[in-house]
Structure 1
């Protein structure tokens, strides 16, 4: 059993294309398999629109790709639906257009002028005109998790001790604790992103592949094959083992 996974993209289309190139090279040697993108397609990077277009087009032509929803993708959608609606996972006092979150860079990729420096009402009006409805519908339809054999793919993680069917969307796209410090066997290996690290890490019961592309780091792609995990590099596979 084999699958590929790509961590948090955050608007970096060039990094995403290179990750797909590494996967394509691995598939040439080992055969096709699904590719799962772990969410956070948008924000902070320079071309969120390009990332969405790339992934949407790939699925439209029949590529075996799954694209999950991340918290930044949900904030983007929530802003388009209602720019004043609170985001349950976001700390009070912050909004999607705060410089720390990168929403303005996403809107700029759609050609919106000074989205972080104007009143919300005209920015929202411009966003509604600029973001195609087809992209909004596609983003809204993104699942929050994917169970596949011995693995569960999810953006942020799971609430320990809660059945997958009973997890809330907010936990699946936002959770850190108590998930990150929980060492119990979840019954499946949880493959996630959301919490930025310098490089991918295997913790035995979970694998975090958010390698900080949002902050100038690389975009990690891995291959999972039976009970083995490898990071894909330009030189080929590098084993990723529990620390």
Structure 2
């Protein structure tokens, strides 16, 4: 059972296309054109072309590519802003909002052609954004999955709350959790593939695999292939085993 996955993109369309090229090369080597590609969320914010990332993925899905897109916390904040200029994500610290310089919403708005999004009334900016974001982009944001399970592997943006059944996990935890999940060394019954928390390089912790390699902060964008519970990082030279 083969599944491809790509970590947190954060508006880097060039890195996303390169990751897909590595996946295409691996498909050709193994003769597989059907295995799904799971994008682990955080398509937007911080990087230069969030609009381009969403457009690229929505067009691919529309033409029948077997691509799945999970919801990240940044994606939820963008969708929330589209619905309400005063939206504040319940898990975001209270002194921040989506357009705070450390969050990255400004860069996303600029990618849609919004001028001076941080210097004008939020309601005005939000109205312009609603007009600028195509319906296909909104449909992608609204249709994102919170998790995707394939065999003994669970793909999710941030992680899971340990000790809680998979079907009872909350969206808040699936897209925001860190500490409790990272510190728990128990087997969760599935190998959890996640992003959300940047690491210097993709890391296998035994019960979970973190593939957010910090594209948001100038790092690379990781693409992997998972076969049963074996994980391989895709490089320009081919596969590299990722071991606990």
TM range (shorter): over 0.9
Distance apart, 1:154 and its partner CA: 0.3
Aligned to 1:54: 56
Unaligned runs of 5+ in 2: none
Aligned to 1:181: 183
Distance apart, 1:227 and its partner CA: 2.9
Aligned to 1:63: 65
Distance apart, 1:167 and its partner CA: 0.7
Using the alignment, how far apart are the partners of 2:105 and 2:225 within structure 1? 30
Using the alignment, how far apart are the partners of 1:227 and 1:142 within structure 2? 24
Aligned to 1:233: 235
- 1:127-138 alignment to 2 at 5 Å? 127-138=129-140
Offset from partner CA, 1:22-79 (integer Å, 9 cap, x none): 0000000112211100000000000001000111111111111111110000000001
Aligned residues: 242
Using the alignment, how far apart are the partners of 1:198 and 1:191 within structure 2? 16
Query: What's the TM-score, normalizing by structure 1?
Result: 0.98
Q: Give the ranges of 4+ consecutive aligned residues of structure 1 lying more than 6 Å apart after TM superposition.
A: none
* Contact in 1 for aligned 2:41/2:72 (Cα 8 Å): yes
Matched, 1:16 2:19: no
SS of the counterpart of 1:180? helix
Aligned to 1:153: 155
Unaligned runs of 5+ in 1: none
Structure 1 vs Structure 2 CA RMSD: 0.8
* Contact in 1 for aligned 2:152/2:190 (Cα 8 Å): yes
- 1:94-173 alignment to 2 at 5 Å? 94-173=96-175
* Contact in 1 for aligned 2:48/2:111 (Cα 8 Å): yes
SS of the counterpart of 1:134? helix
SS of the counterpart of 2:221? coil
Query: What's the TM-score, normalizing by structure 2?
Result: 0.97
